[in-house]
């Protein structure tokens, strides 16, 4: 048997590299057995040729050669040599890191903070921006959206934050359609396998089930689950027959809501529940994997569209045919392109919009329809939080760069201390590539340990951010932060890049060690004599840390100033000492004709509470995340139809909110009667739509309803948010529907919560109190995005500043230690202590000044990305830049002070004796 056949046979027996790695002992035994067998065969052949057993055995061993060489060739043929080298490098690296526990702890903690922050923010970005729809073949789903020069005619448009179609600043747009338009889309079987429609969520009263509670329900077509490809976990899903007129009222539960409210009991199927005082039968529970359709939107249950009237939901005129209140999603046929389907649907849409039974637009409005991928169009809260999250990802990326620069500086200092070790290794035959590989292995080892710790910090941080999202939003948000392959690959990729990033320069420098100088022990002296290169790469890394910190701190400063400016805006009313709560008597089965009396009684009883200044109510609370807008006609004008914000209010509303009355009178108790037709407008409405005309006595309204007469003009107030300009607003009397009560108190409003609930329960315990909050909390919710980004930018900026300060301190401490002899000589020759202190601080501050100058240049470019998040602050604000630069200089002085003090304590005789 030849040696080549031996190698071939062993390769076949080992089968794979994995066997060699994970079954090494077995492989070694097999090689020993095979070599022993081969040696025995050669020995027997020589004995048969006439040699004695002893001579035959000796000659066989000589012929076979070194068994170690054959084994090494075998390992190399399996690709195990590099694995053995890697394993040896890892073991050696672990031993070296264990010998320096302080250094290892600092590096691992620094990397854990950097990698953990990046993983936490990326987990949120992945959950909000990147995760695909949890449905079957989401790439086949399309969603129509329209744009036109004006809003469509009709009772109004209801939008639920599902989409935000791209349009010009002059155009209007949306993804809400009428029910007839949805039916026309669904009949195109030549283009779509199926289509469905949905609207909501709506707050649905489920107090008839034993405990008072509010669920978030969505109205959907019978084809909803079938189009999405969602299967039931228990029972069945909604079917097209459930949408037909006269069908039984049925509901499907969300899996999470089923677990929470019904304990996950399978017997829930067939059970009758009461929703808005209407009996519904639960027919099934949706699959656990179907967590959402629109990102961030929480849905507890689904009911058919045709139940909108019974539930008393007023969208689109209680589901009127000409109301625009439905979002539509369709599943394309595989052979149909999206472009082809869009062309066909656009022709249908334009024809129906201009020439249908109830035309929605005129030809000059140029309406047209787009067909967009559902995954792209269903924006949800991505439209609001997408850009801030991407900016935060960039900020934590900068923090990671700062951490890498910090660790690279530590590795350089440690590499200088290990110069003799590297020289000995190379003197014993190790090549430069081998030394570089060993040092990079240690860097990657540190990086992966830091990433493991960072993953724990990331999970805690991401969970905290998700809770912050949920607690500061107007509606419940469901963010799935369960780690997936994308997050895992991101963390691994960041760990690898980080390890190479901070380890490459120290490894290259370590491989260039001067063996002769290191072995003679003269490298330190040689280094000191390289004038002009005293700091070199280490100083560049510190300056880079300062520059990067400048960028993040500049962004944090701009966002904090924006937040301060927004808080200082005058909203047109007094936001202090104002308690808000909502009730919906109709949802609890309260008779509609008794609602005005209920509100009047509740207003009187609340005003009787000690400490309450005044009470009123409205259809929505302003600066609370809601907006009602629509078209009204102005009597006596050629172009009568105008678009305006609308709010229905109760008596004493303007007095309670402290909105100034500029002209005429306010709405009183007498105006709440259905026969009265009084209205109040704000100054923006009078200025924009009435010009110089006296607004008092002007009639406004809808052609289908009696006209309303303007009886007063009030000051402008912010309605939807603080950033928007003052917009025309009409205030009508509130005579039906749910209401939000505004309670003005003399002291802290949150303290009146229990008393207010007791008053409502005493009046009618069937009416639940919903969403109790203060007006200040509502404003904070409106500014949630600004607060989140400002706080996190501030946190990351502070972290970067701390790392930069530590890096500067470490570099100067190392340089002082290296220059002990020089400082001793200077002191011995008469240098004053103050001069030594100034020398060290001057060199450190020089690096800070260089970093600040470079950071200012970078910040002038980078902060422009924050422009859309800023308010009344320029991205290049000089005051913010000056403040950040001053802060960095102060931190630089503090970081330099300790090494400077250490330099002052150098004893000249001790320093010279050590040399």
Q: What are the pLDDT digits (tens) for 608-633? A: 999 999 999 999 899 987 788 878 88
Q: Which parts of 418-484 fold into alpha helices (H)?
A: 419-427, 432-471
**DSSP symbol at 328:** E
State the DSSP H helix or E strand holding residue 147, giving kind and residue range, or none if neither.
strand 141-148
Which residue, chain included where needed, has tokens 């609602």?
595
At how many degrees (to 10) do helices 784-818 and 382-417 cross?
10
Q: CB within 8 A of 210, min separation 6: which ones? A: none
What integer pLDDT is reported at residue 732 of this predicted model?
93
State yes or no: pLDDT of 10 exceeds 60: no
Nearest to 406 by CA among 546, 567, 209: 546
Distance, CA of 24 to CA of 269 (rounded, Å): 57
Q: Collapse the DSSP code of 648 into the 3-class scheme (helix H, G, I; strand E, B; otherwise coil) and give the result.
A: strand
Q: Is 611 helix (H, G, I), strand (E, B) or coil?
A: coil
Distance CA 147, CA 154 (A): 16
Residue 168: pLDDT band with limits 50, 70, 90: low
**How many whole angstroms separate alpha carbon 761 and alpha carbon 750?**
18
Average pLDDT, rounded, for the chain: 82
- pLDDT at residue 638 is higher than 70: no
Give CA 500 to chain center in angstroms. Answer: 28
Contact of 790 with 558, CB cutoff 8 Å: no
Strands 708-714 and 326-332: unpaired
How many whole angstroms separate alpha carbon 372 and alpha carbon 378? 9
Q: Do the beta carbons of residue 361 and residue 349 sit within 8 Å?
A: no
Q: What is the pTM of this model?
A: 0.76
Question: Which residue in 281, 254, 278, 257 sits closest to 269, CA to CA?
Answer: 281
Separation of alpha carbons 616 and 646, rounded Å: 17
843 pLDDT exceeds 80? yes
Beta bridge partners of 645: 629, 729
Strand 708-714 relative to strand 661-664, pairing? antiparallel
Average pLDDT over residues 179-200: 90
* Of residues 235, 866, 117, the one with CA closest to residue 561: 866
Residue 239 pLDDT > 60 = yes
User: What pLDDT is recorded for position 55?
Assistant: 83
Q: Work out the angle at residue 44's Cα, subtended by the Cα atoms of residues 42 and 46, and round it to the nearest 5 degrees.
A: 70
State the sign of the Cα–Cα–Cα–Cα dihedral 72, 74, 77, 80.
Answer: negative
Q: How far apart are CA 454 and CA 80, in angstroms?
A: 31
DSSP state of 626: -
d(CA 362, CA 817): 82
Spatial CA neighbour of 180 closest among 302, 304, 317, 319: 319
Whether the upstream peptide bond of residue 214 has omega within 30° of 0, thus cis, is: no
Residue 324 DSSP one-character state: B
Q: Dihedral sign, CA of 356, 360, 362, 363?
A: negative
2 versus 420: the higher-pLDDT residue is 420
The CA–CA distances, whole Å, from 357 to 185, 324, 337 equal 17, 15, 30
Task: Compute the distance between CA of residue 186 and CA of residue 125 in angstroms, rounded to an integer.
Answer: 34
CA 392 vs. chain centroid, Å, equals: 8
Number of helices followed by number of strands (H, E) in the chain: 31, 23
**Distance separating alpha carbons of residues 580 and 745, to the nearest angstrom:** 11
- Pull the structure tokens for residue 411: 């590795």
Which of 797, 785, 806, 791 shows the shortest CA–CA distance to 862?
A: 797
**3-class secondary-structure state, position 203:** strand
Confidence of residue 537 (pLDDT cuts 50, 70, 90): confident
Distance CA 911, CA 817 (A): 10
In the structure, what pLDDT confidence band is assigned to residue 459 with cuts at 50, 70 and 90?
A: confident
Q: Strand 278-286 to strand 250-253: parallel, antiparallel, or no bridges (unpaired)?
A: parallel
pLDDT tier, 745 (very low <50, low <70, confident <90, very high otherwise): very high
Q: Are 247 and 306 in contact (CB under 8 A)?
A: yes
Label residue 696 left, alpha or beta by phi (over 0 means left) and psi (-120 to 50 means alpha): beta
Number of Cβ within a 10 Å radius of residue 567: 13
**Confidence tier at 12 by pLDDT (50, 70, 90):** very low
Helix (H) or strand (E) holding 781, with range, is: helix 775-782
Token couple for 464: 């905290």
Q: How far apart (Å, rounded) are the C-alpha atoms in residues 61 and 676? A: 117
DSSP code at position 157: B
Pairing of strands 301-304, 214-220: parallel
Length of the chain: 915
Give the span between the Cα atoms of 248 and 481, in whole angstroms.
38
Q: What is the pLDDT of residue 525?
A: 45
Alpha carbon distance, N-terminus to C-terminus of the chain: 66
Query: What pLDDT sits at residue 284?
Result: 95
CA–CA distance from 806 to each of 27, 107, 409, 809, 863 (Å)? 50, 12, 10, 5, 25
If you search the block for the tokens 């040729």, which residue do you land on?
Answer: 49
Query: Could you report the per-residue pLDDT of 461-506, keeping only the tens digit for each?
Result: 888 877 777 777 666 667 777 777 888 888 888 888 888 887 777 7
Q: Which two tokens stand for residue 463?
A: 């969970």
The token pair at 640 is 């009568």
The pLDDT score that the predictor gives to residue 377 is 86
pLDDT score, position 388: 84
Identify any residues that bridge with 278 across adjacent strands, giving them in sequence order: 275
Higher pLDDT, 534 or 387: 387
Better pLDDT: 79 or 244: 244
Task: Quote the CA–CA distance of 562 and 287 in Å, as a whole number.
Answer: 44
468 neighbors 121 (Cβ within 8 angstroms) = no
The answer to whether 654 and 664 have CB atoms below 8 angstroms apart is no
Least confident of 115-124, 265-274, 835-844, 877-886: 835-844
Q: Residue 522: what pLDDT?
A: 52
Find residue 302's DSSP bridge partners: 218, 252
pLDDT (0 to 100) of residue 639: 63
Segment among 53-57, 285-289, 528-532, 782-786 with least mean pLDDT: 528-532
Residues 351, 367: Cα–Cα separation, whole Å:
10
Judge contact between 127 and 487, C-beta under 8 A. Answer: no
pLDDT of residue 528: 39
pLDDT exceeding 90 applies to what percent of the chain? 28
pLDDT of residue 514: 61
Q: Count other C-beta atoms under 10 Å from residue 680's C-beta.
A: 29
The larger pLDDT score, comparing residue 119 to residue 593, is at 119
Task: Tell whether the model's pLDDT for residue 3 goes beyond 60.
Answer: no
Q: What is the CA radius of gyration of the chain?
A: 37
pLDDT at position 475 is 63
| Contact of 306 with 390, CB cutoff 8 Å | no
What is the pLDDT at residue 524?
45
pLDDT at res. 885: 92
Q: Is the pLDDT of residue 530 over 60?
A: no
Three-state DSSP state, 665: coil
Cβ atoms of 251 and 283 within 8 Å: the answer is yes
Mapped onto helix, strand or coil, the DSSP state of residue 731 is: strand
Sign of CA dihedral 552, 558, 562, 568: positive
CB 145 within 8 A of CB 324: no
Relative to beta strand 629-634, strand 699-701 is antiparallel
Residue 706 has pLDDT above 90, yes or no: no
Q: Which residues pair with 677 in a beta bridge?
A: none
C-alpha–C-alpha distance, residues 621 and 462, integer Å? 32
Q: Is the dihedral of CA 678, 684, 685, 686 positive or negative?
A: positive
Please report, for residues 201, 344, 398, 401, the alpha-carbon distance to residue 797 in angstroms, rounded to integers and kept in the order given: 38, 52, 9, 12
Stretch among 529-543, 567-581, 805-819 having the lowest mean pLDDT: 529-543
pLDDT digits (tens, 9 = 90+) for 280-320: 999 999 999 898 888 878 899 999 998 888 887 776 554 55
Write down the pLDDT at residue 729. 94
Q: Pick 799 or 837 by higher pLDDT.
A: 799
């Amino acid at each position: 048997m030849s040696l080549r056949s031996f190698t071939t046979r062993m390769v076949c027996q080992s089968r794979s590299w994995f066997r060699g790695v994970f079954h090494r002992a077995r492989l070694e035994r097999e090689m020993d057995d095979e070599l022993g067998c081969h040696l025995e065969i050669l020995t027997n052949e020589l004995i048969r040729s006439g040699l004695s057993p002893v001579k035959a055995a000796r000659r066989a061993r000589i012929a076979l050669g070194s068994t170690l060489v054959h084994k090494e060739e075998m390992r190399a043929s399996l690709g195990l040599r590099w694995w053995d080298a890697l394993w040896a490098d890892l073991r050696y690296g672990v031993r070296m890191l264990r010998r320096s526990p302080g250094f290892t702890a600092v590096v691992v903690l620094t990397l854990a903070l950097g990698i953990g922050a990046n993983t936490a923010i990326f987990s949120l970005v992945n959950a909000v921006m990147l995760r695909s729809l949890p449905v079957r073949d989401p790439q086949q789903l399309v969603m129509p959206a329209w744009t036109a020069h004006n809003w469509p005619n009709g009772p109004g448009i209801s939008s639920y934050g599902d989409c935000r179609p791209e349009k010009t600043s002059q155009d209007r747009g949306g993804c809400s359609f009428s029910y007839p338009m949805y039916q026309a889309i669904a009949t195109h079987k030549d283009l779509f396998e199926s289509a469905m429609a949905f609207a909501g969520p709506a707050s649905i009263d489920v107090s008839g089930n034993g405990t008072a509670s509010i669920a978030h329900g969505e109205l959907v077509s019978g084809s909803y689950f079938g189009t999405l490809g969602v299967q039931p976990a228990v029972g069945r899903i909604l079917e097209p027959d459930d949408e037909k007129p006269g069908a039984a009222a049925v509901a499907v539960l969300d899996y999470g809501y089923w677990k929470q409210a019904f304990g996950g009991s399978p017997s829930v199927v067939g059970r009758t529940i009461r929703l808005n005082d209407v009996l519904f039968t639960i027919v099934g529970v949706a699959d656990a994997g179907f967590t959402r359709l629109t990102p961030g939107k929480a849905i507890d249950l689904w009911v058919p569209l045709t139940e909108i009237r019974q539930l008393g939901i007023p969208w689109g005129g209680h589901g009127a045919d000409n109301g625009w209140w439905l979002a539509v999603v369709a599943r394309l046929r595989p052979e149909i392109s999206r472009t082809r389907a869009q062309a066909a649907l656009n022709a249908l849409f334009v024809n129906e919009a201009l020439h249908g039974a109830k035309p929605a637009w005129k030809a000059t409005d140029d309406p047209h329809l787009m067909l967009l991928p559902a995954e792209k169009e269903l924006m949800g809260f991505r439209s609001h939080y997408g850009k801030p999250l991407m900016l935060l990802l960039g900020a934590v990326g900068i923090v990671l760069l700062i951490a890498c620069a910090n660790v690279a500086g530590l590795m350089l200092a440690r590499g200088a201390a290990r110069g003799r070790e590297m020289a000995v290794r190379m003197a014993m035959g190790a090549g430069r590539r081998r030394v570089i590989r060993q040092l990079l292995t240690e860097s990657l080892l540190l990086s992966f340990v830091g990433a493991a710790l960072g993953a724990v910090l990331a999970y805690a941080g991401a969970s905290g951010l998700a809770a912050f999202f949920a607690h500061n939003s107007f509606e419940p948000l469901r963010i799935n932060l369960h780690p997936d392959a994308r997050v895992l690959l991101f963390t691994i990729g960041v760990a690898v890049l980080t390890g190479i990033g901070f380890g490459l320069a120290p490894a290259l420098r370590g491989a260039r060690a001067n063996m002769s100088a290191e072995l003679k022990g003269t490298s330190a002296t040689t280094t000191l004599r390289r004038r002009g290169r005293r700091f070199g790469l280490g100083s560049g890394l510190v300056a880079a840390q300062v520059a990067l910190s400048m960028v993040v701190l500049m962004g944090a400063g701009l966002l904090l100033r924006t937040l301060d400016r927004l808080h200082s805006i005058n909203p047109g009313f007094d936001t202090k000492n104002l308690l808000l709560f909502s009730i919906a008597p109709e949802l609890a089965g309260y008779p509609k004709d008794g609602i005005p009396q209920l509100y009047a009684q509740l207003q009187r009883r609340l005003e009787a509470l000690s400490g309450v200044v005044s009470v009123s109510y409205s259809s929505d609370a302003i600066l609370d995340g809601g907006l009602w807008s629509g078209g009204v006609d102005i009597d006596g004008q050629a172009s009568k139809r105008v678009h305006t914000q609308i709010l229905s209010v109760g008596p004493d509303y303007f007095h309670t909110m402290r909105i100034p009355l500029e002209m005429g009178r306010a709405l009183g108790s007498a105006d709440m009667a259905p026969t009265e037709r009084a209205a109040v407008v704000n100054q923006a409405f009078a200025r924009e739509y009435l010009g110089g005309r006296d607004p008092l006595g002007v009639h406004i309204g809808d052609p289908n309803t009696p006209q309303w007469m303007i009886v007063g003009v009030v000051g402008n107030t912010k309605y939807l948010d603080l950033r928007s300009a003052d917009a025309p607003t009409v205030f009508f009397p509130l005579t039906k529907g749910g209401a939000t009560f505004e309670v003005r108190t003399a002291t802290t409003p949150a303290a009146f919560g229990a008393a207010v609930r007791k008053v409502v329960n005493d009046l009618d315990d069937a009416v639940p109190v919903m969403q109790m909050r203060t007006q200040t909390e509502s404003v904070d919710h409106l500014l949630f995005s600004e607060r989140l980004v400002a706080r996190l930018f501030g946190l990351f900026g502070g972290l970067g500043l701390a790392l930069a300060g530590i890096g500067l301190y470490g570099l100067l401490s190392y340089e002082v230690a290296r220059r002990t002899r020089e400082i001793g000589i200077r002191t011995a020759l008469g240098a004053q202590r103050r001069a030594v202190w100034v020398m060290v601080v001057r060199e450190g501050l020089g690096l800070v000044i260089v970093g600040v100058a470079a950071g200012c240049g970078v910040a002038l470019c980078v902060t422009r990305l924050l422009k859309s998040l800023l308010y009344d602050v320029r991205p290049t604000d000089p005051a913010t830049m000056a403040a950040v630069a001053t802060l960095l200089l102060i931190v630089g002085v503090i970081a330099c002070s300790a090494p400077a003090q250490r330099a002052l304590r150098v004893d000249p005789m001790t320093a010279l004796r050590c040399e």
